[in-house]
Amino acid sequence: MAFAEQRSPKQWRGGYRDSSGKKRFAPGSFPSKAAAKRAATALEVGARKLSPTRQNASSVTWGQWCETWWAGRGVEPSTLESESSMVHKHIAPEWADVKLADITRHSVQAWATGLTQTLTASSAKRVLGVLVSSLSAAIDADLLEVNPATRIKLPPSPQGREVFLTHSEFARLIEAVPHAADAAVLQFLAGTGLRWGELAGLHWHNFDTVAGIVTVSDVASAGEIKPYPKGRRMRRVPIFKWSLENLAPPTSIQKCTTPHREGGCRSGLIFHNAAGGALDDRNFSRRVLAPALLAAGLSDLGATLHDLRHTYASWLVQSGVPLERIADLLGHSSINTTQIYAHLAPARHDDIAAAFGRGEDSKLGTEWGQTFTAAPFTALSRPILRAV
């Protein structure tokens, strides 16, 4: 019989005992006890239907297992939607009729290498990740002993194409936005570094106007408001007057019209559509951002709404804010994610000069530069060290 175990105040995992009495758990965590039990029940029923014993496991195909695994997954609806497309386009055509026992590491490597011929390295990695997750769950269901999709080698993902706007470029962008409410959205994104879903789900009760701090907790995702951001870590972000100059005070709409996954709605959304619901990023990009970039002469940059988050981080780095602090503000679970901004830090070498005890040499100065320009190269390339 399925059961649920609480892992934290708002996280549950579901499990069941197999025919040998061993505990098996549904992959992922769930926001409620009932959801965890439903996932575990689906996994238990499917696993017993497909393979009551290890001897029968050899006849189960990946496609049969996928139906059972999919029903018990504890992931966000938006994740299910995007990964469903990966399954139908790239995974099922190759593996649906293949028995789990016949999937080998060699065959997975050949398939994954083929993916890189038609997909970007990052997309191929995501597709492979779905297959890896499905086979890991098959191990939990006692259908496999080892996962043949692990340790697969893919080409490294190339450096991201982040766009960092300068202060003057951003000012031009705002000037090109005709409506104050739309300009307020762009200013808030660049002034806080919030992801779009975090901004779209931000309520007035999340905004402490006295302290100048927004609490990032409610997030708009897949037509609902979920009570936690990416990484499930709530955070507090300071906000300053320049990013609020076009923001209007609350309207008569006191509650948002977007359904909440948990509980009721305490206040209206700060940024909302005409009906009081969450803004749509694709509609906003088409209606506001693209025309403004064109009018400001910045369309060649190819900037997106998410690039305003990159812009926020770049301004902080260039002002000397430590990467660890920026990681907290952005809600990164690992400092490694924040390292993409490290190259924007201002160059300095006073600390190195101090190590040599010659702090006065930390800057070469205008005079030296003029000498270098005027003098023949050979005159400056003499050995610095000489034999003693």
Residues annotated as catalytic (active site), given as ranges:
195, 230, 306, 309, 332, 341
- The per-residue DSSP string of 92-103 comes to HHHHTTSBGGG-
What DSSP character marks residue 90?
I
The 3-state DSSP class for residue 140 equals helix
Strands of 207-208's sheet in order across:
207-208, 213-216, 235-238
Report how far residue 361's alpha carbon sits from residue 30's, in angstroms, rounded to the nearest whole number: 59
Q: What's the token pair of residue 63?
A: 């496609």
CB atoms closer than 10 angstroms to residue 33: 14
Which stretches of the chain are DSSP H helices?
A: 33-50, 54-57, 62-71, 77-86, 92-95, 105-115, 121-140, 167-175, 180-192, 196-200, 281-284, 290-295, 307-318, 323-330, 335-338, 350-355, 365-374, 377-380
Report how far residue 39's alpha carbon sits from residue 2's, in angstroms, rounded to the nearest whole number: 9
Q: Do the Cβ atoms of 72 and 65 come closer than 8 Å? A: no
Distances (CA, A) of 213 to 179, 185, 239, 310: 25, 16, 6, 20
Closest CA to 2 of 71, 62, 67: 71
Q: Do the Cβ atoms of 92 and 63 come closer than 8 Å? A: yes
- The per-residue DSSP string of 321-351 comes to --HHHHHHHHT-SSHHHHGGGGGGSPP--HH
Residues 6+ apart with CB under 8 A from 130: 83, 86, 87, 91
